[in-house]
Amino acid sequence: MTTKAGTTLAADPSDPSPPAVRLLRRRGVEFTLTVVAVLLSVYGYCAVGLAKNGTVPPGATDYGAGLGVLALLAHLVVRLRAPYADPLPLPIAVLLNGLGLVLINRLDLETPADQAAPAQLNWSTLGVALFITVVALLRDHRVLQRYAYVSVVAALALLALPILFPPVNGARIWVRISGFSIQPGEFAKVLLALFFASYLAANRNALAYAGRQIWRFKRLQLPTGRVLGPIVTIWLLSVGVLVLERDLGTSLLFFGLFVIMLYVATGRTGWIAVGLLLACVGAVAVGWLEPHVHSRVEDWLHPFASIEAGQGPNQLVQSLFAFAAGGPLGTGLGLGHSILIGFAVKSDFILATAGEELGLAGLAAIFLLYALLVERGYRTGLALRDPFGRLLATGLASIVALQVFVIAGGVTGLIPLTGMAMPFLAQGGSSVVTNWIIVALLIRLSDSARRQDDRGTLPQGPYDSAEGRGA
């Protein structure tokens, strides 16, 4: 299986000819799917207008043209600078971003005083611009390895920045400068993944095989403090800062990211056990000491408590009402009442609008889009041969998966609710921009993964492992 890991992706598995010779670029597929994604978004935009006012909304052509131009530019830069890239991530990102704009625009109709869609479109434009910049300027992902320590310093600085600013709705994660607000923690995700990937790739042997054996018959070995120390410190710092800022979702994300990447790098199941143990201790401690967290857990355990106490339904219950109202097929775009959720309906709770108006069918489709994006990320990780690239692809894919799980699980009552933006769907500039950068990196990585089979294009680097070709 491992012998074929690099080649299965490179070409259609049913294609009998050697992949190195018949490497397909698949840019036509990407183009077609991107056009479909734009058309689906425009269709959604029109459906909202038809449902609410009985007419095709006047902004439909502008919206379609705007999204279309962005998607086309993104596609062109991929075609020119990453011709071997995986054809799926870009159309998925376009569709999710387009759907997010449709949903936010739809909710804007209920809140005439608070229009979020134009800003979201601007942020999406910035996101696509950064996507283009990354794909165009970053020729080899291994260059990033050099900036590991720069990125970790930047990540910590970004994480610490909001402490200087006043909290918003109980969380200290925003930086507001003259009406402009960003969440620096969002950008820190990518930087931290970059650092983890770089550090673990460089030290994985030391982490996996050196150090004290603490359980003789099992293979649980603690690495030496010199190797483990820096990374645990970084991780503890970032999670600690987030707890201070009460950004539960992001601390959960960083924790999961750290454990997954450490596991993938070292293959030590023991790390998972230690990680979970630490997580439980941390969660109980935080849940006990921090009233903000405590109330979230209480809400999760007893969602109807506020109704029984006569205080009316809380946000989580309103969200569950919205999902339930959607049923299997949904009420139809524009015909739900998720606005009842209140202030976070366009951001953290955007999925409830999708759940109510598109139903379980639409929700499943959205989940599958994310699943597909994550799966393409992991495939890229499998296909790449350098440990840094593999770890980076795995980390980025895990970021997407964990984000989706943390917020979707929260708003559907699967796990306690923690604030987090649904990638591409939710209102939130920092999140949209970050996720476009993640997709840009995945595009670059997948281009490298397939290019390495196209002999000579990508020279074997010093970090290349033998595993890709089967050891």
Between 390 and 429, how does the x/- string for binding to other proteins read (CB under 8 A)?
x---x--xx--xx-xx--xx--xxx---------------
Other residues' Cβ atoms within 10 Å of the Cβ of residue 409: 16
Binding of residue 350 to other proteins (CB under 8 A): no
Q: Left, alpha or beta for 170 (phi > 0: left; psi -120 to 50: alpha)?
A: left
91 in Cβ contact with 30 (< 8 Å): yes
162 in Cβ contact with 171 (< 8 Å): no
396 in Cβ contact with 190 (< 8 Å): yes
Q: Which is nearer to other proteins, 125 or 380 (CB)?
A: 380
Out of 237, 367, 454, 461, the only residue in the binding site for other proteins (CB under 8 A) is: 367
Between 215 and 254, how does the x/- string for binding to other proteins read (CB under 8 A)?
----------------------------------------
- 220 backbone dihedrals φ, ψ, rounded to 5°: -90, 115
Q: Which is nearer to other proteins, 227 or 262 (CB)?
A: 262
**Separation between Cα atoms, residue 63 and residue 66, nearest integer Å:** 5
Q: Which is nearer to other proteins, 79 or 337 (CB)?
A: 337
Length of the chain: 471
The amino acid occupying position 463 is Y
Q: What is the DSSP letter of 144?
A: G
Using CB under 8 A as the binding criterion, the count of chain residues that bind other proteins stands at 55
Binding of residue 324 to other proteins (CB under 8 A): yes
Out of 184, 185, 381, 423, the only residue in the binding site for other proteins (CB under 8 A) is: 381
**What is the separation, in whole angstroms, between the first and last Cα of the chain?**
11
State which of positions 291-320 bind other proteins (CB under 8 A). 304, 307, 312-313, 317, 320
Least separation in angstroms between CB 294 and other proteins: 23
Reduced to 3 states (helix: H, G, I; strand: E, B; else coil), residue 213 is strand
Contact segment (CB under 8 A) with other proteins among 31-39, 152-160, 186-194, 381-389 equals: 381-389
What's the Rg (C-alpha) of the chain?
A: 23
> Considering only CA atoms, which of 371, 375, 370, 386 is closest in space to residue 449?
386
Binding of residue 50 to other proteins (CB under 8 A): no
Given the rule CB under 8 A, which residues bind other proteins?
A: 1-2, 5, 260, 263-265, 267, 304, 307, 312-313, 317, 320-321, 323-329, 331-332, 337, 340, 355, 359-360, 363-364, 367, 370-371, 374-375, 378, 381-382, 387, 390, 394, 397-398, 401-402, 404-405, 408-409, 412-414, 465, 467
